[in-house]
Amino acid sequence: MATTIGVEEEYLLVDAATGLPAAREDKVRATAGLQPFVAAGEVQSELLQAQVEVATPVCAELVEVGGHLLRLRHAVAGAAEAHGCRLVASGTPPTHQGPPVPVTDHARYRAMQRQAPQLVAEQMVCGMHVHVAVPGRRAGVEVLNRIRVWLPTLTAMSANSPLWKGHDTGFASWRTVIFNRWPVSGIPPYFADEEDYDLRVRRLLSTRVIADTGQLYWQARLSERYPTVEIRCMDVQLRAGDAIMLAGLVRALVETAMYEAATGVRAPRCAPELIRAAMWQAARHGLGGDLIDAQGCRRRAGDVVGGLLEHVGSALEAAGDLREVTAVVHRLLREGTGADLQRRALHAGGLDAVNGLLASTDIGGAPEERPAVFPRTGGAVPLRTSEGTTA
């Protein structure tokens, strides 16, 4: 049986008339939570009041992930409409002018604002996080050491944040650049074992530069709440089908890493400066330029993505996901990432066209883009009670 997974998605709330960020998270979240098909903990607050997060229940199959993501996207979008705003599945808002969006009224968020006011003011970014179950912290560290070289490839495939304050940043994932400004961020280091991981975390906490483990903004980390590894390097996806595909790839990466650890395959070592360069290249170009592969070599993006599929192919096949995931990956290579779609709209019709694109794809994709991984359910599965994302 395939390893269980859970997915979190963060969305923007924008005013339906102006397209500007709308600080109505509390109203939208409360309205979404009243719907009979939304369980407690599935719609959550975020750092800023123009953001909202959803968390799926534990899922054993990608078809479940797809059903829950569509259900939650519809729930939040309907609640947003009731309060004069729209849900936007973009890593950054295409238009963000005017005063800063207020911080959500939580003690932790207020403390972050006092510590780094400008960073918090510009943290109007939305990601996708995938939790994958592991049998323990030792196994989790083995996984982190083996998947870190693939995080730039996932970042490139998920790039969906090219715009900031009304202009093209030149980066496919500007969200990645923004997040890397925090003190503990980027690709995690290589850890000797779980004791090394815990020691490094304790030392970081002892500096009081970070207040808690929630501020370990590594792009992959051990969850402190659940027996999972959490992969956090991806922008939220414009199309739900792409999100489901990425969840499948992440699970397959984790399963492949656990198999390699169990069979004595050494974890790849990559120089910190090289892997940092690989992540910068991925954020800069997405799939629109060359990437740095897991061996540190510059190659065409399509070849690097093909190498990832080859690396995890056995795990995808064992889970029954190979055909569906491969089909969506091929579409991604053919049609481009969310960043590519936003740029095409910008060049064709300016910000109005970008807002139109986001309005037409913020639920599950336009009708001709319905996710390819729902053949068994038509995109809906029964609700399962959740206390948030676990796996």
DSSP 114-139: HH-HHHHHT----EEEEEEE-SSHHH
Terminal-residue alpha carbon distance, the chain: 14
Q: Which two tokens stand for residue 182?
A: 């925090």
CATH classification number, 5-362, choose in 3.40.640.10, 3.40.50.300, 3.40.50.150, 3.30.590.20: 3.30.590.20
Distances (CA, A) of 361 to 74, 94, 230: 12, 15, 26
Q: Where are the beta strands (DSSP E) in the chain?
A: 5-15, 43-45, 51-55, 85-88, 127-133, 163-164, 167-168, 185-186, 217-218, 220-222, 228-235, 291-292, 298-299
Summarize the confidence of residues 89-115 as an average pLDDT.
91
- Site of tokens 């003011």: 121
Q: How far is CA 352 from the centre of its chain?
A: 25
Q: Which two tokens stand for residue 265?
A: 């395959």
Angle, alpha carbons 143-248-169 (nearest 5°): 90
Confidence class of residue 364 from pLDDT cuts 50, 70 and 90? low
Q: What is the pLDDT of residue 1?
A: 64
> Residue 358 in contact with residue 89, Cβ under 8 Å?
yes
Q: What is the pLDDT of residue 65?
A: 97
Per-residue pLDDT tens over the stretch 210-239? 999 999 999 999 999 999 999 999 999 999
In 3-state terms, what secondary structure has residue 264? coil
pLDDT of 194 > 60? The answer is yes
* Rounded distance between C-alpha atoms, residue 257 and residue 132, angstroms: 12
Per-residue pLDDT tens over the stretch 86-99? 999 999 999 877 78
pTM to 2 decimals?
0.92
Q: What is the pLDDT of residue 96?
A: 72
Q: Where are the beta strands (DSSP E) in 78-119?
A: 85-88
Per-residue pLDDT tens over the stretch 295-344? 999 999 999 999 999 999 999 999 999 999 999 999 999 999 999 999 99
Angle, alpha carbons 65-70-74 (nearest 5°): 150
